[in-house]
Chain A
């Protein structure tokens, strides 16, 4: 299970990379692996407001549809057209090529609710044991 050290995470398996007042967000290796072959990604439009812990995108595999939750609140600054055109990127490169969106962070304090890599790692391992 690939869990890069420098990122922050949610319990609903999204990751965040903070770059100043911008946050890049995507779904984790664990998420893509449990979904299976991803066939479709639906993203909000640029300029849309998203709210922490609320659904902001959808990913579909052959036999499942799964919501993606916003790790932070903010305004969509950029979306990744590549994963709309080639959803398989989410399986192949969850942290590099398949970021979902970049947002302008609205509330810095919300970052406190995110998990560090080590905490997310133990959370995921806990799920495996259940």
Chain B
């Protein structure tokens, strides 16, 4: 199957106008010594065959497990209306809205998305999206370095380890010094952060809720950071901001986050959504596309890509970032999702996640061989200390139909018996109870 419409006659006519006798003649700049040594690609298939092949492959994946696995990527319900909108080809087959007059739909959608992110984070400005929560955090760190002219970063180890590792990868050839401070009883260690913060510090990075699901009020840390001329960066779980104290309320300078919780399917790791918002003073140092409102010749409101002089297509090697393609369609999903939930719905949803999670803590706490870590309040994810190796327990739970959670031993030394469990609004009372039963069986085996 190809999607080329040309008939033989049309091809002939076109070649005649060009003045060549064959298509191959158009490739004469590619001399024989530049031709492929091989091009061993299977022959074409029909749509029916490809769909069947893909269904067979999909059936080898376990999407049937009851999901208590989170670790930054959550199994939330996605209303059908989200897909109905993002399945419209007028959205998904367009590209970056360079020509504003013929892209008002996209531009207004992004403006509305930016507005939603500002409302959720309590900050002044948001961009049109970055790739994911990890690259967003990296961009925020680079932004802080540009703004402050300093190169030292203090990072709380409650920040998702995947993101921390990504940051180290990206900065390994740059002169940036990182200091990692420990989590004590589930919370950022003030003592350690204050010990390391100094005049050379560009930023302090924290996460709320942190990787262990614990919530915190980082206002004191942020105040301290500001007193040394450093910026405060916070990685957030956007859905939790329906109820949690916002980055804005804590005086954070740059907030980033993984937007997957806002109506984006898990899809084995992507595409996801890099959320970024900041205070207005820093907007010109922000990476990514930004949409602004303006007026047309007749004074009618319209929307355009703005502050483009920051970007790679204009500033090239001195741009604020190299980003070009972003995750616009995922940002649209987020915007539709929060519009469906609305002002009250996002609160109810966040509360429901918290309530179910607290209920699960209660039920699981009664399972013999399980201790629930209760040193600090959590949002919808919490840590269990098991009487057995958590990796093995999680493996056995798969056979019982559960993705039981994320064993922390791989990421944190000495935590081989720790299991991180997430409970979203999708989990029912019955599922939670069955989960507890199954866990008890595995632990008492």
Contact = CB atoms under 8 A, between A and B. Distances in A.
Q: Is there any pair of Cβ atoms, one from A and one from B, under 8 angstroms apart in the complex?
A: yes
Contact of A63 (B284, B309, B318): B309
A120 interface: no
B4 interface: no
Interface string A58-99: 001111110000000000000000000000000000000000
A60 B283 CA distance: 14
B57 interface: no
Contacts of B310: 65
Nearest to A67: B318
A40 interface: yes
B284 A65 contact: no
A60 B310 CA distance: 9
Contacts of A61: 309
B321 interface: no
Contact of A40 (B284, B314, B315): B284
B189 interface: no
A39 B309 CA distance: 10
B308 interface: yes
Contacts of B314: 63-65
Contacts of B308: 62-63
Interface in A13-66: 39-40, 42, 60-65
A87 to B, nearest CB: 12
A23 to B, nearest CB: 25
Nearest to B304: A62
A39 B290 CA distance: 15
Interface in B356-378: none
Contacts of A63: 308-309, 314
Nearest to A65: B309
A58 to B, nearest CB: 9
A62 B318 CA distance: 16
A39 to B, nearest CB: 8
Nearest to A59: B309
A90 to B, nearest CB: 14
Contacts of A40: 284, 309
Contacts of A42: 284
Contacts of A65: 309-310, 314-315, 318
Interface centre among A39, A60, A61, A64 (most CB of B within 10 A): A60
Interface of A: 39-40, 42, 60-65
18 contacts: A39-B309, A40-B284, A40-B309, A42-B284, A60-B309, A61-B309, A62-B308, A62-B309, A63-B308, A63-B309, A63-B314, A64-B309, A64-B314, A65-B309, A65-B310, A65-B314, A65-B315, A65-B318
Given A60-B309, A64-B314, A65-B309, 12 more contacts: A39-B309, A40-B284, A40-B309, A42-B284, A62-B308, A63-B308, A63-B309, A64-B309, A65-B310, A65-B314, A65-B315, A65-B318
Q: Which 4 A-B pairs have the closest CB atoms?
A: A60-B309, A65-B309, A65-B315, A65-B314
